[in-house]
Structure 1
Amino acid sequence: MTASRLSLFAFFLALATTLTSCDAIGSIFKAGAYTGIIAVFIVVALLFFIVNKMRGPRS
């Protein structure tokens, strides 16, 4: 019973995340193409920063 509740929670969490991100992307591109490009650049830079921090220091 607990596993099915966890699966249901994960499904609704994924659904909520997907719906809000689609709405956010729609509003970003309504603001203009340059705003969308800047937003994508910021997200990619943030992901790059997080991945580098997870790797640890380089030798």
Structure 2
Amino acid sequence: MKKRILKLSFLALMLTTLTGCELAGDIFEAGMGVGIFIVIVVIVLIIWLISKFRK
């Protein structure tokens, strides 16, 4: 249970500190390949989190 709270608090911290426009600007600054990789990782992470909470 403590690991879940730690993960959720880390996710909440990231969501509050990184705004959407700032994140998009950083992705374009880093390059298209890195941006695509980050988007894929975020999508996989969201799917993984949803599957964990449904069990």
TM-score when normalising by structure 1:
0.58
Q: Which residue of 1 aligns with 2:30?
A: 31
Q: Which residue of 2 aligns with 1:48?
A: 47
Instruction: Identify unmatched segments of 5+ residues in structure 1.
Output: 1-16
Instruction: Identify unmatched segments of 5+ residues in structure 2.
Output: 1-15
In the TM superposition, residue 28 of structure 1 has moved relative to its aligned partner by 1.1
Whichever residue aligns with residue 43 of structure 1, its letter is V
In the TM superposition, residue 35 of structure 1 has moved relative to its aligned partner by 0.7
- The count of residues paired between Structure 1 and Structure 2 equals 39
Give the whole-Å Cα distance in 2 for the aligned partners of 1:42 and 1:52.
15
Question: Deviation above 2 Å: which 4+ runs of structure 1?
Answer: none
In the TM superposition, residue 25 of structure 1 has moved relative to its aligned partner by 1.1
Task: Give the greater-gyration-radius structure (CA).
Answer: 1
Identity fraction in percent: 41
